[in-house]
Each structure stands twice: as C-alpha cells, then as structure tokens.
Structure 1
C-alpha cells in the first residue's frame, strides 16, 4: 500500500491514496479540513464501523443505521499523542439483539479492525454501544 501527501499551501496538505482517492488535511487545528490527528479518529471509526456493520449483517440483524461517536484524549505534552480513545456505537434497527451488537463491537476491537489493533499498542481504547429501536 502506498500514498503521497503534498503541501498545497498555508497549512493544508493533500493526501492521495494508491487507489486514487484524495483527502485534505489541515495542520492549523482543523480550521479548513480535518487535522491529521482528527483523521486518525475518523479512520478508527471507519474501520470499526465497517466491521460492526458486516458482522451484524452476517448475523441477519435488521440494522438501518450505525454511527460511532469517538472521544479521544491527548497528552498535554509535545508530541500530543492519543492516550485514550472511547468509541460509542449507536445501532438503529428493528429487533436488533444486544448480544449480536456486543459480539460485533468486541470482534472489531479485538480481532478485525487493523486501525484499532495498531493503535491499542500505545493507546487505551474502550468501547460501548446503545441500540435505538426503529
């Protein structure tokens, strides 16, 4: 896997993936686009969400929406690394079983999400969920 990131002016950078997709990053506190650290949170949420949706679909759960709210805590020193990240999944659907959501979230965190598995070597990652009946 390869990517490039190039400076496009001010404190903006354009990241381009090998597959041809682009993302703008803003080093100025996320004023114009996500900062690189905000993008780490978004990537973690995206990776975990893909797993949770896939696992729930395979379990034949009637899910209409999945949202994950991420809360990252960073160190007060430079570099301001993440020290803790909490993921709260909100699963909406009809008759969605709590045991299936718990299993999906656990499997993503402990086995499938490569972003979480990489980060949890240095960051305390926790998760929980709620189910909204449609």
Structure 2
C-alpha cells in the first residue's frame, strides 16, 4: 500500500497554499464567495485531477502504441447538484486529438484503456458521479 500526502497552510481569508510532492498550488475562493480570487478553486481542481490522470495515461499509451498525433487536449465539465452542499453528479470528458493521419480506432482504444483500466481518479469519481466520454479527431 502506498500513501499520498499533501500539506495545506492557511494564508488568511479563504486563501491557502497547498503543497504536494510535485509543488505548490494556491487555493482561494471567488470574491462573491468571500475570497480574494487569488487561487484555484477546490472543485475545479477535481476536474484538473481527472484530466491530468487520464492525460498521463494517454501520453504514455500514444508512445507505446505508436499512435501518430501532433498533440491532444482534454476538456472536462462537471455538473453540480442544486443542494446546499453542492456535489458533482455528472462529468463530461472530451478528448481532442490533432493530427494529419489519425488512426481513430487506435486512439479510441487508447482512450478506453485510460478511462476503463488505468486512470485511478476516473475509477474513484465513478463511485459518486456519471462520466460521459467523447472523442474528437481534428486535422492540424
């Protein structure tokens, strides 16, 4: 079993510095929520975690499977409940592959290997929300 750690320090107001083994991120709330708008939002960082986890899988698999792409992007949207304590109930993850000779079947396999097998963040999120996957193939 391995353990992941972070350390978060209050900076005043609703601002925090959160450190993990890869660096420091500043967290804050919007002005409307009482913050100073000087950092990332915790719920939005969940979207970044989902995209980042899958992106690392995709980058690794593109190399291993020799898929020809110029680059790729991942867009994530999350829908929140209307309850007082808002939680995510649905995520939409869109993979955008750019290149001249995209092998759609190979790229679809790569995406599904990430989303169904390798991405631990996606596996965790499936315990509390629906995840919709879309793949776009775009000429560059």
For normalisation by structure 2, the TM-score amounts to 0.88
CA contact (8 A) 1:45 1:68 kept: yes
CA contact (8 A) 1:72 1:82 kept: yes
Q: Which residue of 2 aligns with 1:37?
A: 43
2 CA distance for matches of 1:94 and 1:60?
15
1:66 Cα deviation from its structure 2 partner: 1.0
Structure with the higher strand share, 1 or 2: 1
Match for residue 8 of structure 2 among 5, 13, 30? 5
Structure 1 residue runs without a partner (length 5+): none
CA contact (8 A) 2:51 2:74 kept: yes
Moved over 3 A (4+): none
Task: Note the 1:56-71 alignment, pairs <5 A.
Answer: 56-71=62-77
1 CA distance for matches of 2:100 and 2:64?
16
1 CA distance for matches of 2:85 and 2:113?
31
Q: Which residue of 2 aligns with 1:21?
A: 23
CA contact (8 A) 2:91 2:130 kept: yes
1:58 Cα deviation from its structure 2 partner: 1.4
1:109 aligns with 2:115: yes
Higher-Rg member (1/2): 2
Match for residue 88 of structure 1 among 84, 91, 94? 94
Structure 2 residue runs without a partner (length 5+): none
For normalisation by structure 1, the TM-score amounts to 0.92
Length, aligned pairs only? 133
